[in-house]
């Protein structure tokens, strides 16, 4: 894809994120500040939006995009990541971390949060974590040690961040043991896995 197209998509992500902030402000009278500590405000907005999605399914694509864009940028800023935007199709939009090999589609996570309670949730972008070939078992073991969650809590964006935090810590420990803590991942490192459909080495 041409550089101008990538720049345009990055601008679209920023606009969608700003729209999310405005929608939350209008609906709740509360401000989002780009910090993970205030993601419960976004979760509350998502809970309210589920009724709107149930009554007007045509709202779902825009809601998933706006919520996902904001959520993805918050996570990218907090953990040190970047957007991979290879096409206008949101199923290909991923936030990729630099310090460990972990990527995810924030639009997919927002879609799952908005639709989990529907009797027949429509298919959306992938909502799983993308990990390295040998890392899935390591991270899965750490996540399995957590207390069980209700289905509703599992799909909240705050819980997703907690899972990402645990995965990042586990992967960081593994890199320290291997003596590879100075590795920095970029677009080229993620390109092969993210080009697959569905992406490789996923973890719910």
Residue 181 domain boundaries: 3-203
pTM above the 0.85 mark? yes
Mean pLDDT by groups of 10 residues along the chain of 204 residues:
76 96 96 95 96 92 97 97 94 95 96 89 90 83 78 86 92 84 89 77 61
User: Which tokens belong to 35?
Assistant: 């910090």
Round to whole Å and give the CA distance between 78 and 189. 21
Nearest to 62 by CA among 114, 99, 6, 27: 114
What pLDDT, in 10s, does the model give residues 97-143?
Answer: 999 999 999 999 999 999 988 878 888 999 999 998 888 887 888 87
Q: How many domains are there within the chain? A: 1
Q: What is the DSSP string of 15-61?
A: HHHHHHHHHHHHHHS----S-GGGHHHHHHHHHHHHHHHHH-GGGHH
């Amino acid at each position: 894809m041409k550089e101008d197209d990538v720049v345009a998509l990055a601008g679209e992500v920023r606009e969608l994120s700003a729209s999310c902030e405005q929608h939350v402000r209008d609906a709740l009278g509360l401000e989002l500040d780009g910090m993970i500590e205030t993601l419960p405000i976004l979760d509350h907005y998502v809970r309210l939006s589920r009724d709107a999605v149930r009554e007007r399914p045509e709202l779902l694509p825009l809601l998933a995009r706006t919520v996902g864009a904001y959520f993805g940028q918050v996570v990218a800023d907090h953990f040190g990541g970047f957007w991979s935007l290879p096409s206008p199709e949101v199923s290909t939009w991923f936030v990729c971390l630099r310090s460990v090999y972990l990527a995810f589609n924030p639009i997919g996570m927002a879609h799952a949060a908005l639709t989990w309670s529907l009797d027949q949730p429509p298919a959306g972008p992938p909502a799983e974590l993308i990990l390295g070939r040998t890392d899935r078992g390591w991270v899965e073991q750490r996540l399995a040690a957590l207390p069980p969650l209700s289905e509703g809590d599992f799909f909240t964006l705050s819980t997703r961040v907690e899972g990402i935090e645990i995965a990042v810590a586990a992967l960081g420990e593994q890199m320290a043991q291997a003596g590879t803590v100075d590795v920095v991942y970029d677009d080229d490192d993620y390109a092969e896995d993210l080009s697959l459909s569905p992406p490789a080495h996923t973890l719910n």
